[in-house]
Amino acid sequence: MSAVAQAPTTTLAKSTAVTQGLDFPTETRPHVELSVKDVQRSVVFYQALFNRPPVEVGEGFARFNPYNPAVDFVLREDSAATRRDGHMGIQLKTTADIARYKQRVEAKGFSAQLEEAETACCFSVANKAWIDDPDGNQWEIFVVTGEATSEIRCGPTCACEAGGCN
């Protein structure tokens, strides 16, 4: 009979003490880790997108902790990184906010691939700018200007129908 190696197990001790985690401005915040081909180039893009520098940079990685939107966002360098299916987005409150995002990103040499005004799509009407990161991952920067009770498709001139928001 051969012995089978088992992975060591870790058990968290039960405690009644409350452990305080890192402070951030919301009750929860998502954690996103994204593989990128060139972490230095991606840092330039995400610093402009989030309007703040990374909080940690190391060999082949960077971590951002923006407050608005509150997210723990990690970039990991991987030469095999590819564009992801679908897209990510940041919903804003005013169309003027979209212009500020675009200006920051364009100042770093990136550009909006498509802009949409009062576009009916995906259960809402919105103003949008679509910006690609260095690996081709799409970011939808948008303001919802109206709601719809059913899914509305916007047609071939918008990003969703052109293959952007799968």
The pLDDT tens digits of the residues spanning 45-55 come to 999 999 999 99
Res 50: pLDDT:
95
Residue 52 covered by a domain? yes
Using the predicted structure, report yes or no on whether residue 63 has a pLDDT greater than 90. yes
Residue 9 covered by a domain? no
Res 152: pLDDT:
59
Identify the top-confidence range among 73-82, 108-117, 156-165: 73-82
Q: What is the mean pLDDT of residues 65-90?
A: 89
Give the number of domains in the chain: 2
Q: Are residues 153 and 99 in the same domain?
A: yes
Give 147's pLDDT tier (boundaries 50, 70, 90). confident
- 165 in the Ramachandran plot: left (φ > 0), alpha (ψ -120 to 50) or beta? beta
Domain CATH code at residue 117: 3.10.180.10
Q: Are residues 109 and 156 in the same domain?
A: yes
Pick the residue with more confidence: 124 or 110?
110
Which of 59, 82, 105 is where one domain is finished?
Answer: 82
Residue 110 covered by a domain? yes
pLDDT tens digits for range 116-129 = 777 777 677 788 99
Using the predicted structure, report yes or no on whether residue 114 has a pLDDT greater than 70. yes
Q: Which of 4-13, 27-36, 149-158 has the lowest mean pLDDT?
A: 4-13
Prediction pTM value? 0.72
Using the predicted structure, report yes or no on whether residue 24 has a pLDDT greater than 50. yes
How far apart, in whole angstroms, are the C-alpha atoms of residue 119 and residue 135? 26
3-state secondary structure of 31: strand
DSSP letter at 3?
Answer: -
Q: Are residues 47 and 97 in the same domain?
A: no
Residue 64 covered by a domain? yes
Please state the φ and ψ torsions of residue 99, each to the nearest 5 degrees.
Answer: -60, -40
Residue 159 covered by a domain? yes
Q: Are residues 87 and 164 in the same domain?
A: yes
Q: Which of 13-27, 62-76, 99-113, 115-129 has the lowest mean pLDDT?
A: 13-27
Give 16's pLDDT tier (boundaries 50, 70, 90). low
Residue 21 CA to its chain's centroid (Å): 23
* Site of tokens 């923006």: 66
Q: Are residues 66 and 105 in the same domain?
A: no
Q: Are residues 102 and 88 in the same domain?
A: yes
Which of 18, 49, 82 is where one domain is finished?
Answer: 82
Amino acid (one-letter) located at 133: D
Which of 82, 100, 115 is where one domain is finished?
Answer: 82
Q: What is the mean pLDDT of residues 94-99?
A: 89
Residue 95 covered by a domain? yes
Q: Are residues 166 and 92 in the same domain?
A: yes
Please state the φ and ψ torsions of residue 61, each to the nearest 5 degrees.
Answer: -155, 160
Which domain covers residue 141, as residue numbers?
A: 83-166
Q: Are residues 70 and 101 in the same domain?
A: no
Residue 149 covered by a domain? yes
